[in-house]
Structure 1
Amino acid sequence: MRARDKGDRGVVQSVVLFLGVSVLSGALAAGLAIPFAGLAGFSTEKTAETLQDLPQELKTVPLARNSKIVAADGSLVANLYEQNRVPVKLSQINPIMRKAIVAIEDDRFYEHGALDAKGTLRALLRNQTEGAVQQGGSSITQQYVKLSLIEKANAANDPEAIQAATAETYQRKVAELRYAVAVEKEFSKDEILEKYLNLANFGDGTYGVEAAARHYFSTSAAKLTLPQAATLAGLVKNPTGYDPTNNKKRAKDRRDVVLRRMQELNVISAKQAGDAIKTPVINPAKIQPVPNGCANSKYPFYCEYIVSKLLENPAFGKTTKARDHYIKTAGILVKTSLDPRIQAAAQKSINEHSKPTDQAIAAVTMIEPGTGVVKAMAQSRPYGAGKNHTAYNYNVEKSYAGGYGGFQNGSTMKAFTIAAAIQQGFPLNHRIQSPPTIDLSGKKFSTCTGTTKDDDYHPSNSTDAHGDLTMVDAARASTNTYFLQLSQQVGLCPIATVAAALGMHDAQTGQPLKQVVSMTLGVDTVTPLMLANAYATFAARGLYCTPLLITSVTGYNGNPIKTPPPSCKQAIDPAVADGVNAVLHQVMEPGGTGGRLKFGPSDLAGKTGTINANLAVWFAGYSSKMAAASVVADAQPPYKNLIGQTLDGKKMSDASGSGTAGPVWQTAMEGALKGLPTTRFTAPSDKTMRGDVKDLPFVNGKSPQEAVGILQQAGFQAEIAPGLVDSEEAAGTVAYTSPRQRDGAPEGSKVLIYISNGSKGGGQPPNPPNTPPTIGNPPPQFPNCPPWHPKYPKCGR
C-alpha cells in the first residue's frame, strides 16, 4: 500500500472514531454505555472495557493550597506549598479574565455540553493533517477533568495514575469525556469555570488565577486589566513556554493572539485590542515572588524546627510522608511563639559579638518563664550550603534532622546541684572546706542505682576562691571543689532527678544525663533551648513548661486543628526555686562571676559554664520575665580549645562563661527586657535560708574514731578529711567539722571531720576510745526531706 493511502486511511479512521465519540457523548448523557465495536478496528475492545469500568462521577481531591507559618504578631515566617495557589470564588475574578479564558480555550463553552463536537473535530482533522498535535480540541470541562485526574494522581503519588492521566491516547479522551458528562450534570457552567481557573497551571510555579495575578502583576484576580487577563489566559496552553518571566517576546505574541481572538468574537472592540497590544506584557518591578519553604524564610533555623514539630503531629497524617504532603497542601495557618522584637534583639546580640566567618560559633535561645514560649533563637552561622554557612541549628537537639545536638554544659550544671541540696534541706550558707585541688580518687558517690567512683580524679578550681565556703560563696566563684563535695553529700540521684524534671537530657541521644562523679561540673551534651528552659523553671518558681513553639494551627476554613497544647507542671517546690534564685542572684552581684553582666533595675540570676579544654563556654541566666542561654563553642570536629580561635573576627586570648558567652546573653537580654516593668524574685523563706537541719554533736577535741561513731549514731554520714589543719585542739584530735557544729546539718548528710595539727595549742590527744571505729559501716540512706524543725533553726548567717 502506498504511503499516501496509509495516511488517508489513518485520517479516515480517526474521523470515524471521533464521530463515534461524539455520538457516544450523547449516549452517555442519557446514561448509556455503548461499545465501539466496528469503528475501524481501533482498540474497540479496550475502549469499551474502559467505558464500562469508569465510575459515574468524578471524585476529586481538595485543591492544594498554600500553608503559612507566622510569628506571634502574625508576620510571615514562611510559605509552605507544593503548588502556589490561593483559591477564590468566581465573583472574585474580574469578568474580563473569565471572557479571555473562554475566548481562547473554549469560545462555545456556555453553548455546548461536555463535548464541543465541532471544535474537537476541527482540531482532530488539523492534528492528523499536520502529523502532530497543533490544536487542542478539549472543552474547558474536559481540561478541568484532565487537571483533576493529574492532581489526584499526584496527591496519591501514583506513577501509573499520573501516566494514565497524561497519556496521548484516545482511550484517555473517552474516559475524560465520560467524567466531563458527569461534571456537567453536577455543576453549572460558572461553577466549572471557577474550578478550572483555580486549578489551572499559570506558569512559574503559580497555580490558579489569584496566585498568578499576585505573582506576575502584584494585583488580585478581581483587579486584572485586559492585557493582564489576556496574558494569563494565554499561559494555560503552555505554562512554561509562554511564561513572561522566561521569554517576554513569546509571552507577548501569545497574549496578542488572545486579544485578537477576543476581538474576533466581539468580546472587546478593535480599539481595546489595539491599545492592549501596545502595552508591555509585564513590568519586572511588579513581579512578586512567593518564596517557598524554610530556606527562603527570614528565620530559616526556627522555621525548620517548627516544621519538624509539625511532622511529629499525628493529626496531619499516619506517616511522615503523608504529614509532609498535608502540611504543604492543606492551606493551614501555623501560628508560632516567635516574637520578632525579641528575635531581633537576639540576632543583634549575635551580630555584635560574633561573625559568620569566625572559627567559633555563637548561639542563644530566649524563653518566657511560666509559659515555655520560645521567643527567639539565633546563631552566628547563617543558613545555607556556602562557605561560612551551615544547615545545623546549634540551639536544638539532634533528634531533629537539622539539630546539632548541643555541647557539654560545664558549670551551668551546678544550678541543679544547688536545687537538689536545698530540696534535701541544706541551708544556703552550708559550709564545706574547699581547697584549690581535691583528691576524689576512689571516693564513692551515690547514684539512683548504687554508687560510682573515679579511680584517678584530682579536680581543681578554675578561680582563686577556696577555703571554708558557703553555698553562696561557692556559687559566686563557681568553686569546683565545693560543688563536687556538695554533690557527694547530696547524692547524684537527687541532682539527676531535679535536672530531668526540668527537661535536661542528653541532646545527642535523648537519654538521661549520666550520673558520674564530675556530674556537677557538666555532663553529656545539652542545647541552649534545653538549658534556657530549665533555668526559666527557676524564674517561674519551679513551674516547668515544655518548650512551646507552635501556639495554634487552623485550617483554611478557620477551624482549629488539634496540636499539642501548653504543658506545665510544678517540677520543684516554689520554696526550692526561691532558694536557687537567691543563690544565683548573688552570682550577678559585684564580685560574682556574672557581676560584669548585670544591667537594669530588675533582679537577675545566672551561672557561668566552661568545659574541659575550653571547647565550649556558656552563660545561662534570667529575670522573672525572660530566660536565656548562650554558648560559644567549637562546632567543627576535631574539637579544639577556643583560645586561639576567632570570635568577632579576633583571636581569643581567653575563653570563659562570663567574658565570652556572657556578653551574648547580656546584649540579648537587655534588648528583650527593654520597656518591660521592673521585676523582683520572691525572697526565700527562713526555712529555705536555714535549711532543714539537725543539731550536730560537738566532737571537737575528740579522737577521730570516736567522733565518727558519735556522728553516725546521731544519723549523719562521717568522713575524715585528708591532711591536718591549724587548730587550738590537741594534735591528732578533731579540730572542727564541716558543716560547723553551730550550723547543724540535714539528717543523713555527710560531715567531714578535720584533724588538728596542734599548731595553736599544746595539748596531747586523749587515749583512744575502747569502742572500735565505725568508719567502715555503710552510711544511712538519705531520707525524704522531713518537715522543718523549729527546734533546729541554727544557721550562722
Structure 2
Amino acid sequence: MRVREKGDRGVVQSVVLFLGVSVLSGALAAGLAIPFAGLAGFTTEKTHETLQDLPQELKTAPLAVKSKIVANDGSLIANLFEQNRIPVKLAQVSPIMRKAIVAIEDDRYYEHGALDAKGTLRAMLRNQSEGSVQQGGSSITQQYVKLSLVAKAKTPEEYQQATASTYQRKIAELRYAVAVEKEFSKDEILEKYLNLANFGDGAYGIEAAARHYFSTTAAKLTLPQAALLAGLVKNPTGYDPTNSASAAKARRDVVLRRMQELNVITAKQATDAVRTPVYDPKKVQKVPNGCASSKYPFYCEYVVSKLLDNPAFGKNKKEAEHYIKTAGITVKTSLDPKVQAAAEASIKAHSRPNDQAIAAVTLVEPGTGLVKAMAQSRPYGSGKNETAYNYNVEKSYAGGYGGFQNGSTMKAFTIAAAIQKGFPLNHRINSPRSINLTRVKFSTCSGVTQTFDDYNPSNSTAAQGDLTMIDAAKASTNTYFLQLSKQTGLCPIATIAKNLGLYNAQTTTPLEQVVSMTLGVGYVTPVQLSSAYAAFAARGKYCKPLVVTAVLNNAGKPIKTPGIECNQALEPSVADGVNRVLHEVMEPGGTGSKLKFGSSDLAGKTGTIQDNKAVWYAGYSNRLAAASVVADATLPYKDLIGQTLDGREMSDASGSGTAGPVWKTAMQKALAGTAETKFVAPSDKTVRGDVKDLPFVNGMSVPDATNKLQQAGFKVVVAPGQVDSNETTGTVAYTSPRQRDGAPEGSEVTLYISNGSKGQQPPNPPNSPQPPNPPNTGKPGGIPQCPPWHPQFPNCPQR
C-alpha cells in the first residue's frame, strides 16, 4: 500500500495546524516527547517558517555493510565491519516478523501518514498523566528518519544534533518523515527500517539478527523468535538475551500479548510462544570482526595496510578505514591456502612460540609478485609468547617489524652487477683467508669513495685461493665478493638492489653504500628479499609484492585498485647468469647443497650477519621464491648461539643449517605435486663475459704498468703492501683480474706489488678449488703453460 499526500503545501499546512493547536493547548511537549518549557514563545508562525526552511528530501548514508577479505580460492580470511549487517528485501523477511514489528512499534502504520496523530495523542496523554516523558509516539517512518540521521552523522557534533532532545530535532524529523512518505511506499520504508535497526549484541538489520541469535535467516523466523527481535529495537542492550535472558523474555512476551490484542495471533499461539525458551545459547553465532579474529592475522593486517594506501577508498586513512568497514566490499587476495599451510607447517616443524629466537618465512610467485604465504613462529596477540609484530614486512605497514640485516644474501646482487658489467662466470680473484681493506676506496653512486679506517674482513668458510665467481658463491667467500664489489663499484650493486625492491625496511631510505655492502646491509624483510630473488627466477622481471588482486563493491562490480606491477629490472641474460651461479650453491659442495630437493632446478644463497644475530636463506625455483630468517628480535640483540630454537639451545647458527630448513620444508611442501621446471641456460657470452684482453704487465714498474693499462682503457689501483712473488721487488707481481681472464672494458684493475722474495705464491689450501690450466700458448718445445711475453721468458711469443 502506497500512501502519498496530495500536495506539499497542504501537508505542511496540516502539520503546522496540528503543531499550532498543540502549542496553544499546551500539549506539544507531551505529544513530541519534549519539555513544554522549551516552547515558550514558539508561535505557530515561527513553526511554519521552521518547517519551510527544512530540506524537502532526506538524504541518507549508504547502509553500513560488512566487508570481507578472501583467499585466492574464495575462502574467508576476515570480516571487516563497523556494523554487522546483511541487507535483505522485505520479501525475504518472514510475514510474522513484519507483523510483530508493526504490532509493537506502530500498529496503525499502514493507516496513517508520516505522523500518527492518534498515536501521538495517546502518547501525549500518557506523558501528561505521568508528568514526564514515558512514550514518544513516533511512527516507524519517524524512527527510520532518526536512525538514518544518526547513521549519517560523521562527527560527535553531528551525532549530538541527531539525538538531541529538542523541538528543532523533532520538527526536523517530522518534516523528513513527510518527505520519506512522499517518496517511498509503506513496504519500502519498512524494509529500510528493518535493515537499518540495531538488534543488539553487534547485530544490525533483521538478517544479521536472525543469524546471530538463532542461526537462521530472516525468512525462517518463527513467532517467538520474531517477537524477541521486535522487542529488541526499543532497547537493544537492555533486552539483549545474551545480556539478560529474563529481561529479554519479559519484553518478548509483551510483544506476543500485544500481537494477541491486535488479533494478529490467537491466544493459543501467544500462550504457546510464551512457554518457549527465549533463546538457545548454543545457536548464538558470533561473527568474527577484524584481523585479530582471522586465521591469518598478520597477512590480514598487511592486506588492510595496502587497502588504506589506496586513494580510491578515501582522502586519508581515516576515511579509507570507514569505507572499508562499511561499504560491503569483497577483497580478493593472493593468499594460497595450500602454500600458506606449507609455510605454517614449516614454522611449526622448526620452531616454537616460546623460543628465544624468532623464525619467519614468505613465499612469492615469480613473474607476478603474488605473495602466496607468510608465516612466523610467534602467534598474533598480546599474551605470553605472542606478538603484534609481523616479522615478514616493513615497518611502514601495520605491525611491521622492519626487517633484519640480510647478510650474504646480498652477494646475489653483487653477482648480478658483475655479470651486468660483463665479468665472466669464471672470473678469478685471489681470495685469501683475510684481507686488509683499511682505507681502501670503493666508489659509490655519488662518486664519493667509501672507506673504513680499520677493516680486516675474513672468510667464514674454508674455501680460499684463486677462486671463480661460482667457486666463491658456493662457499660464500667474503674476501672474493668484497674484491668483486670493489671492481664493479658499489653503485651498480645498490642500483640493482633498489630496482629489485630493496630499501631500508625501517626508514624506507635507500640501502647504505658501504665497503661491506656485499656482506649484508640493513634492514631487509622476507617479503622484500623473496620478491627480489623472484626476479632472478623470472629472468629479470621484478614484480612488486602484491596481496590485493581485486576489490569488488557491494554490487559485485570491480573497484579500481593497483594490480600486478612488473618491469624488466635486469636483462634476461644477466638473470640467467645469476641463476647459473646460485644454482651451484645448491649443488654438491655448495653451502645450500643439503637443502636441495626434487628434480626441478633450484637456486639460493645463505646469509649470516655479524655476531650471528640473524641468519637467512633465500632461494627459488621458477614457480616459487622464498626467504626465511631466524633472528633475535628482542633488544639488545645477541648472538643466536646459546638461544633456543625449536625448544633446543643452538650450538651453531648459519644460513644453511638454521634458516635453511625453514625454507626447504616450506618450499618442498608448497611445490609438492607441481610439474618439474628448469632454468634457462645462460648464453655463451654470459658465461665467457664481455671482456677484452688485458695487457701483460707482470714484472713491470708500477708507472709503466699503469700507463699500459690506462692506454688499453682500464682504470688502475695499487693494492697496499707487497706480496710474495718471483718478480723483482717493487714491480708488478700480478693483477686482479688476472691477465689470462681479461676484464670488461673500462673496469678497474688492481696491481699487486712483489716483495722480491723469489718464492712462488703459496699453494691453494687442501679442499679449495684449483684454477684450471691456462691454454697452450704454443711455446716452442711444446711446454703447455708458456706465459705471454715476459722478460724472463724471451722465447715465448708476444701477444
**Could you tell me the TM-score, scaled by structure 1's length?**
0.89
Aligned equivalents of 1:132, 1:590: Cα separation in 2:
90
Deviates more, 1:177-186 or 1:26-35: 26-35
- Provide the residue aligned with 1:125 in structure 2: 125
Aligned equivalents of 2:645, 2:760: Cα separation in 1:
53
1:115 aligned onto 2:118? no
User: What residue identity is the alignment partner of 2:69?
Assistant: I
Deviates more, 1:32-41 or 1:419-428: 32-41
Task: Give how far 1:161 is off.
Answer: 2.6
Q: Per the alignment, in what secondary structure is the counterpart of residue 531 of structure 1?
A: helix
User: What residue identity is the alignment partner of 1:627?
Assistant: A
Task: Give how far 1:292 is off.
Answer: 1.0
Task: Give how far 1:271 is off.
Answer: 2.6
- Provide the residue aligned with 1:421 in structure 2: 418
Aligned equivalents of 1:31, 1:521: Cα separation in 2:
85
1:282 aligned onto 2:279? yes
Q: Deviations over 1:267-289 (max 9, x none)?
A: 22223222222221111221111
Aligned to 1:216, which of 196, 213, 216?
Answer: 213
Deviates more, 1:240-249 or 1:190-199: 240-249
**Pairing 1:239-318 to 2, within 5 Å after superposition:** 239-318=236-315
Q: Deviations over 1:284-332 (max 9, x none)?
A: 2211111111111111111111111111111111122111111111111
Task: Give how far 1:432 is off.
Answer: 0.2
- In 2, are the aligned partners of 1:484 and 1:518 still within 8 Å (CA)? yes
- Provide the residue aligned with 1:571 in structure 2: 569
Task: Give how far 1:169 is off.
Answer: 3.5
Aligned equivalents of 2:9, 2:281: Cα separation in 1:
48
Deviates more, 1:503-512 or 1:264-273: 264-273
Q: Per the alignment, in what secondary structure is the counterpart of residue 619 of structure 1?
A: strand
Task: Give how far 1:348 is off.
Answer: 1.2
Q: Deviations over 1:360-385 (max 9, x none)?
A: 11111110000000101111111111
1:749 aligned onto 2:747? yes
User: What residue identity is the alignment partner of 1:119?
Assistant: G
Task: Give how far 1:218 is off.
Answer: 1.2
**Pairing 1:310-389 to 2, within 5 Å after superposition:** 310-389=307-386
- In 2, are the aligned partners of 1:732 and 1:758 still within 8 Å (CA)? no
- Provide the residue aligned with 1:79 in structure 2: 79
Say if 1:441 and 1:723 are closer, same or farther in 2 by CA, change over 3 A.
closer
Aligned equivalents of 2:669, 2:465: Cα separation in 1:
39
- In 2, are the aligned partners of 1:411 and 1:521 still within 8 Å (CA)? yes
Task: Give how far 1:192 is off.
Answer: 0.6
Q: Per the alignment, in what secondary structure is the counterpart of residue 233 of structure 1?
A: helix
Q: Per the alignment, in what secondary structure is the counterpart of residue 352 of structure 1?
A: helix
Aligned equivalents of 1:169, 1:713: Cα separation in 2:
94
User: What residue identity is the alignment partner of 2:388?
Assistant: A
Deviates more, 1:159-168 or 1:503-512: 159-168
Say if 1:170 and 1:753 are closer, same or farther in 2 by CA, change over 3 A.
closer
- Provide the residue aligned with 2:100 in structure 1: 100
Q: Per the alignment, in what secondary structure is the counterpart of residue 603 of structure 1?
A: coil
- In 2, are the aligned partners of 1:123 and 1:135 still within 8 Å (CA)? yes
Aligned equivalents of 1:182, 1:497: Cα separation in 2:
64
Aligned equivalents of 2:324, 2:727: Cα separation in 1:
76
User: What residue identity is the alignment partner of 2:11?
Assistant: L
Task: Give how far 1:47 is off.
Answer: 4.9
Aligned equivalents of 2:174, 2:219: Cα separation in 1:
31
Identity of aligned residues (%): 74
- In 2, are the aligned partners of 1:147 and 1:200 still within 8 Å (CA)? yes
Q: Deviations over 1:571-627 (max 9, x none)?
A: 000000000000000011121111111111111100111111111111110000000
User: What residue identity is the alignment partner of 1:309?
Assistant: K
- Provide the residue aligned with 2:787 in structure 1: none
- Provide the residue aligned with 2:11 in structure 1: 28
User: What residue identity is the alignment partner of 2:525?
Assistant: T
1:480 aligned onto 2:468? no
Say if 1:167 and 1:128 are closer, same or farther in 2 by CA, change over 3 A.
farther
- In 2, are the aligned partners of 1:354 and 1:647 still within 8 Å (CA)? yes
Task: Give how far 1:30 is off.
Answer: 5.4
Deviates more, 1:109-118 or 1:81-90: 109-118
Aligned equivalents of 1:720, 1:446: Cα separation in 2:
15
1:609 aligned onto 2:607? yes
Aligned equivalents of 2:689, 2:88: Cα separation in 1:
68
Task: Give how far 1:447 is off.
Answer: 0.9
User: What residue identity is the alignment partner of 2:135?
Assistant: Q
User: What residue identity is the alignment partner of 1:255?
Assistant: R
Task: Give how far 1:31 is off.
Answer: 7.5
Aligned equivalents of 1:490, 1:99: Cα separation in 2:
82
Q: Which runs of 5+ in 1 are unaligned?
A: 1-23, 762-797
Deviates more, 1:170-179 or 1:686-695: 170-179
Aligned equivalents of 1:593, 1:92: Cα separation in 2:
65
Deviates more, 1:540-549 or 1:225-234: 225-234
Q: Deviations over 1:451-472 (max 9, x none)?
A: 2111211111111111100000
Q: Per the alignment, in what secondary structure is the counterpart of residue 629 of structure 1?
A: strand
1:393 aligned onto 2:376? no
- In 1, are the aligned partners of 2:413 and 2:497 still within 8 Å (CA)? yes
Aligned equivalents of 1:406, 1:360: Cα separation in 2:
14
Say if 1:702 and 1:160 are closer, same or farther in 2 by CA, change over 3 A.
closer
Deviates more, 1:39-48 or 1:174-183: 39-48
Q: Which runs of 5+ in 2 are unaligned?
A: 1-6, 27-36, 762-799
Aligned equivalents of 1:444, 1:738: Cα separation in 2:
16
Aligned equivalents of 1:233, 1:396: Cα separation in 2:
48
Say if 1:635 and 1:386 are closer, same or farther in 2 by CA, change over 3 A.
same
Q: Per the alignment, in what secondary structure is the counterpart of residue 446 of structure 1?
A: coil
Q: Deviations over 1:514-557 (max 9, x none)?
A: 11111111112011100000000000000011111111111101
Deviates more, 1:729-738 or 1:743-752: 729-738
Aligned equivalents of 1:721, 1:511: Cα separation in 2:
33
User: What residue identity is the alignment partner of 2:64?
Assistant: A
Say if 1:48 and 1:30 are closer, same or farther in 2 by CA, change over 3 A.
closer
- In 2, are the aligned partners of 1:724 and 1:757 still within 8 Å (CA)? no
Say if 1:72 and 1:698 are closer, same or farther in 2 by CA, change over 3 A.
same
Deviates more, 1:570-579 or 1:105-114: 105-114
Q: Deviations over 1:209-233 (max 9, x none)?
A: 0111111111111111221111111
Say if 1:749 and 1:171 are closer, same or farther in 2 by CA, change over 3 A.
closer
User: What residue identity is the alignment partner of 1:120?
Assistant: T
- Provide the residue aligned with 2:231 in structure 1: 234
- Provide the residue aligned with 1:683 in structure 2: 681
User: What residue identity is the alignment partner of 2:264?
Assistant: V
- Provide the residue aligned with 1:494 in structure 2: 492
Aligned equivalents of 2:81, 2:108: Cα separation in 1:
35
Task: Give how far 1:717 is off.
Answer: 2.8
Aligned equivalents of 2:760, 2:345: Cα separation in 1:
59
Q: Per the alignment, in what secondary structure is the counterpart of residue 452 of structure 1?
A: coil
Aligned equivalents of 2:374, 2:127: Cα separation in 1:
60
- In 1, are the aligned partners of 2:586 and 2:593 still within 8 Å (CA)? yes
Q: Per the alignment, in what secondary structure is the counterpart of residue 659 of structure 1?
A: helix
Aligned equivalents of 1:124, 1:203: Cα separation in 2:
29
- In 1, are the aligned partners of 2:313 and 2:319 still within 8 Å (CA)? yes
Q: Per the alignment, in what secondary structure is the counterpart of residue 149 of structure 1?
A: helix
In the alignment of these two chains, the number of paired residues is 735
- Provide the residue aligned with 1:550 in structure 2: 548
- In 1, are the aligned partners of 2:339 and 2:373 still within 8 Å (CA)? yes
1:507 aligned onto 2:490? no
Aligned equivalents of 2:122, 2:659: Cα separation in 1:
76
Aligned equivalents of 1:25, 1:704: Cα separation in 2:
103
Aligned equivalents of 1:454, 1:722: Cα separation in 2:
14
Q: Deviations over 1:46-81 (max 9, x none)?
A: 755543431122111111111111111111111111
Alpha-carbon RMSD across the aligned residues, in angstroms, is 2.0
- In 1, are the aligned partners of 2:695 and 2:709 still within 8 Å (CA)? yes
User: What residue identity is the alignment partner of 1:395?
Assistant: N
User: What residue identity is the alignment partner of 1:708?
Assistant: T
Aligned equivalents of 1:585, 1:736: Cα separation in 2:
31
Aligned to 1:584, which of 573, 582, 586?
Answer: 582
Q: Per the alignment, in what secondary structure is the counterpart of residue 569 of structure 1?
A: strand
Aligned equivalents of 2:588, 2:431: Cα separation in 1:
22
Deviates more, 1:387-396 or 1:733-742: 733-742
- Provide the residue aligned with 1:89 in structure 2: 89
